[in-house]
Amino acid sequence: MSERLKISKTPVSTYLLRAREAGISDWPLPPGYDDDVLLERLLFRRVGRPPQDLDEPDWAMISRELKRKGVTLTLWQEYRAAHPDGYGYTRFCDRFGAFQRRSSATFRNRHEAGAVMQTDYAGHTVPVVDPDTGVIYQAQIFVAVLGASSFTDWIEGQCRALTFFGGVTKAIVCDNLKAGVAKALWVEPTLNQTFAAMAEHYDTTILPTRSRKPRDKGKVEGAVLIVERWVLARLRNRRFFSLGDLNAAIAGLLEDLNNRTMRHVGKSRRELFEEIERTALSPLPPAPFEYAEWKSAKVHPDYHVEIDRTFYSVPHALIGRRVDVRLTHRVVELFHDHKRVASHVRRSQRCGHVTVNEHMPKAHHRYANTTPANLIRQAAEIGANTAILVERMMRDRPHPEQGYRSGLASSRWPVATSGIGSRQPARGP
């Protein structure tokens, strides 16, 4: 048969063996066996899956429940209450481990509810057209996800994400990008001052991932793909003229995404968030974190430091020293040896000096207060005639500053009971 069909002996032997197992021994085939479909069914029987054990737990549900704290033993006890002849605790844990291995061949980092928020930027950008110039800018999409529920919004994005979730996680897992991490060391990475201050404000911990290890934050990597497919892909043919318009469009699609039921879970992301995560989050602080930028500056000989081409004063004793500068949208704060030494309202317009009199040496303080109005006021304290004299000194000079010394000398005269210091009553002839 092998020679006639020009095939090897192995498949011939295999077919003969299968025919004997199917009870076919006569040749030619008896009537009724000439149907190719029937022959294929007899010779190539598919091994069906064993019937599902009625006592088998709902491992998907148990996986969701294990995201809560301290429930492993409770889940097994509830299972045994419903199935007295079911698995023992050790076998129960082994079976759950097998379920996890079947679900994914990679390590599954199970997060407790409210423990971790993972953040990242999407790889895709969205073009935004400036309506005045026509210039096209590429807007980056910030994605944040809570570790346990996959509920899908560096520093302002983190704050907005926490506000969006309505609470604070115990830790924030993020990339090792320069915007947040000054030194990307695995053992003890150094955060930049602003990122560290944000973490302190929200009473949370920053956990940068290892370089080039995206699985350290697999939840948000998956969320980025979901956002790119279900949100950004639907916006690809739309044109936006402001970030506000883009954010409004994203918000609508994000709401649909979070309310869509996930097939493998049977619940939506919003349902999982409300059920698992919300109550586990710590409350937000009373006031949101205010973004601040930190710089280092040297105090000039005029006891000012230059910030964005504007000069802000510090105590004159710090001339020549270096100070740390904290910049917000509203305030400029200056620190020396970790102590705040000056605070100013930030000027929106560049150039000019912002000076506090208490920062000046005494000699500079006296000169700074030397103005025509101040000299006349001091002279008026001596007497009306003295004020008239000083005012005339200012007026008779080409520039008021030329009368400063004479005015200062006049305003220092002692109060007199006669002469020019006080007005005398008119005398009769």
- Pair of tokens at residue 317: 């004793």
SS3 per residue for 35-84: CHHHHHHHHCCCCCCCCCCCCCCCHHHHHHHCCCCCCHHHHHHHHHHHCC
What are the per-10-residue average pLDDT scores of the chain (429 residues)?
A: 76 76 66 61 54 67 75 80 83 84 56 61 71 77 56 64 84 68 61 80 80 58 74 78 84 86 82 82 86 87 88 91 90 92 86 83 66 76 80 68 55 46 44
Three-state SS for 101?
helix
pLDDT digits (tens, 9 = 90+) for 251-305: 888 888 888 888 777 888 888 888 887 888 888 898 888 777 888 999 998 889 9
User: So what's the pLDDT on residue 198?
Assistant: 84
| DSSP of 239-287 | -BSSHHHHHHHHHHHHHHHHHSBPTTTSSBHHHHIIIIIGGGSBPPPSS
In 85-224, the DSSP E strands lie at 116-129, 136-146, 171-174, 181-183, 190-191, 205-208
User: So what's the pLDDT on residue 191?
Assistant: 76
How far is 226 from 331, CA to CA, in rounded Å?
40
User: So what's the pLDDT on residue 297?
Assistant: 92
- In this structure, whether the domain defined by 116-280 belongs to CATH 3.40.50.150 is answered with no
How far is 145 from 119, CA to CA, in rounded Å?
6
Q: Which residues contact 328 (CB under 8 A, 6 or more apart)?
A: 290, 291, 292, 293, 346
- Residue where the block lists tokens 């006890």: 77
Task: Name the strand (E) or helix (H) holding 197.
Answer: helix 193-202
CA distances from residue 351 to 76, 302, 319, 326, 346 in whole angstroms, order as listed: 70, 15, 20, 19, 12
pLDDT digits (tens, 9 = 90+) for 402-420: 555 555 555 554 444 344 4
- Pair of tokens at residue 313: 């004063």
Asked whether the CA dihedral 59, 62, 67, 71 is positive or negative, the reply is negative
Asked whether the CA dihedral 346, 347, 350, 351 is positive or negative, the reply is negative
- Pair of tokens at residue 54: 């009625």
CA distances from residue 296 to 28, 178, 312, 321, 328 in whole angstroms, order as listed: 97, 18, 13, 10, 15
How is the chain split into domains, by residue range? 2-43, 59-103, 116-280, 293-362, 370-421
Q: What are 353's strand-pairing partners? A: 311
User: So what's the pLDDT on residue 384?
Assistant: 84
Q: What values do phi and psi take at 183, rounded to 5?
A: -130, 115
